[in-house]
Amino acid sequence: MTRSPDPADCNQVPLQPPARGGAAAGEDGASCVPGRGARAVAPAGAGGVAPASPVPRGERPRTAAPDGTRASRAPERGDGRPADPPPATPAGVPAVRLAVGGPALLRDPLHNKSSAFSREERQAFDLEGLLPWAVNTMEQQARRAYESIVRKTDALEQHIGLAALHDRNEYLFYRVLADHLEEFLPIVYTPTVGRACQEFSHIFRQPRGLWITPAHCGRIDQVLGNVRRDDIRLIVVTDNERILGLGDQGAGGMGIPVGKLAVYSAAGIDPSQTLPVSLDVGTDNPALLADDLYLGWPHPRLRGEPYRALVDEFVTAVRRRFPRALLQWEDFKKQNAFELLERYRKVLPSFNDDIQGTGAAVLAGLTAATRITGIPLLEQRLVIVGAGAAGIGIARQVRDALGRAGLAGDRLRRAIALVDVDGVLVEGRQPLDRAQRPFAWPARLAADAGLPARHGLEVAVRAIRPTALIGVCGQPGAFTAPVVRAMAAAVPRPVIFALSNPTSQAEATPAELLAWTDGQALVATGSPFPPVTVGGRTIRTGQSNNAFVFPGLGLGALVAEAREISDGMCRAAADALAAQVSAEDLAAGSVFPPIGELRRVTRRIAEAVVREARDAGLGRAIPDDAVGGAVAAAIWEPCYPPLERVPLAAPDGR
């Protein structure tokens, strides 16, 4: 019987600060647990190591000594010379068995420990002489990597630097990301990932993920087999057509699945079981097609039945190759997004983050905001600017919540207004697609509200007097001073979410929104913004970031072995996220927790999703008192596993 690994075995500072409200160290996955099938969580306070916050920029983290003090130098041998540090891998955990060694092992990002290979590992894997003499702890490596990244002053260069680390050493990449989540999440994810997608063909270094093109039709199953990994559990796939608020980015859209999966693993999902996929079906972006460095399939986009046939072949191949995998659809054009979600959600466990993740995150923020405004959800009036996939996803989640709370008929219709370039969606006034029709107001309701045939956002706000204004239109400056002031004149504490990504596409900045409302607005954004000081009070900008939702939804679905990602599971995620907003957060003016608490929030959401899947008959029958342990056992930690050399198999398999 093996013992649970002690955090001190990893010679590292803990992955995140202790949970607020006095939670014990280790309660939310702060222990160091090896990956690749070995899962354990140290008991609270194991090893006597006190949790510590991620190290501020410019400060060097230092290893904790066994007595809790900070060690200032390496231990010494009897002759006064520094001894090798303790192994950078936890003891008592099953080893990963490898046949490869030498330079090939140093080029394998899933198993490369670089300077942290022990003396014994160096000898066993033919690494002697291929590395400098010193044996480092992971903490030392993380410090070195961090210092290298922050020397770069441009965000895109930091993104490139972190990607290079990712390509060399996955454990170390995730350790650095986890230790500096608030600082580096905007670099590996939005907003910087948007620039990386735009510049993809000009900054390309190393392939990551799988590109499937129309040239692969008829043999997509074979192409999936080139991954050379059988236990893929999580796939994020895009066709690159609606990348953030930037539109068609062709093959460069691969940055989104890679970035999303980095968030998943930073939150606790084993990266060796994930796969980013780009359905590179061409591009209608003329600038890309004219670029001789463009790396994608250089043709106009596949449409219609050929497109649907390619996606269907892909899904069929995924089900055959990776029968336990969860599929996340990402950044598809609205029509395709809804069509694929409905077509495949019962074929394999899958969800669309732009639709369901965005909706759950916004519902959570609205729910938390009621604790400040005093206006119950049942009495909310929403104006959602942007009638695409995200806007409709929000409308669906909120309408469902209001309906469950007892709202019906015209009151339910009036509670949500979707706005496009012509104003509020109204039956018979503008062309509506199938996804928009359920949210269009009857003409009589629009007439009763005094809404003319064509009108701008300010007219809609004055007529509807919304308690919440949600922006997902991708139009910077859409929330103007007259619009916001009109809203604030009717509502003491207006809730305003400017959610379009990246930062350059936000409908307004938090500083503008707070200035126009005399500091009374409850503001959230999709990308990170700095705190704002108004009237001597510093207000933290909350992030209505899908990163709070999709890792917990995915982790919970995997633990539950869910057959389907249901609307109820998305509701459970929203409710759990709202419950993680503390009084401290609300006092700071935020209706979301800090992004640095992603791992804790992910665990709580996963637990709620497991229970909902069980209760709906869609997942394993895990008893309530075992749910927390099941989730904890599935959480991956970026800590090197022990390695064991095995003989290379002969060509005949013997």
Cα 282–chain centre separation: 26
In the sheet that 350-352 helps form, which strands lie side by side, from edge to edge?
210-212, 274-279, 234-238, 326-329, 350-352
113 noted as active-site residue: no
| Angstrom distances, CA of residue 575 to CA of 185, 195, 252, 540, 585 | 24, 33, 35, 22, 16
Q: Would you state the structure tokens that stand for residue 421, as one six-digit string?
A: 């370039």
Catalytic residue among 260, 264, 294, 334, which? 260
Which 3 state secondary structure label does DSSP give 167? helix
| Distance between CA atoms of residues 489 and 492, nearest Å | 7
Catalytic residue among 174, 189, 344, 640, which? 189
| Distance between CA atoms of residues 479 and 485, nearest Å | 10
| Distance between CA atoms of residues 179 and 200, nearest Å | 27
The answer to whether 599 touches 267, Cβ cutoff 8 Å, is: yes
**Residues ≥6 apart with Cβ < 8 Å to 56:** none
Is the backbone peptide bond immediately before 191 cis, with ω within 30 degrees of 0? yes
Query: HEC profile for 338-405?
Result: HHHHHHHCCCCCEEEHHHHHHHHHHHHHHHHHHHHHCCCHHHCCEEEECCCHHHHHHHHHHHHHHHHC
Whose tokens are 């509807």? That residue is: 464
In the sheet that 495-498 helps form, which strands lie side by side, from edge to edge?
423-424, 416-420, 382-385, 468-471, 495-498, 522-525, 542-543
Measured on CA atoms in the order 432, 435, 436, 442, is the torsion positive or negative? positive
Q: How crowded is residue 190: how many other Cβ atoms within 10 Å of its Cβ? A: 26
| Distance between CA atoms of residues 319 and 316, nearest Å | 5
| Distance between CA atoms of residues 185 and 191, nearest Å | 9
Whose tokens are 């599929």? That residue is: 327
Q: Would you state the structure tokens that stand for residue 78, as one six-digit string?
A: 């009897």
**Residues ≥6 apart with Cβ < 8 Å to 454:** 422, 423
* Residues annotated as part of the active site: 189, 260
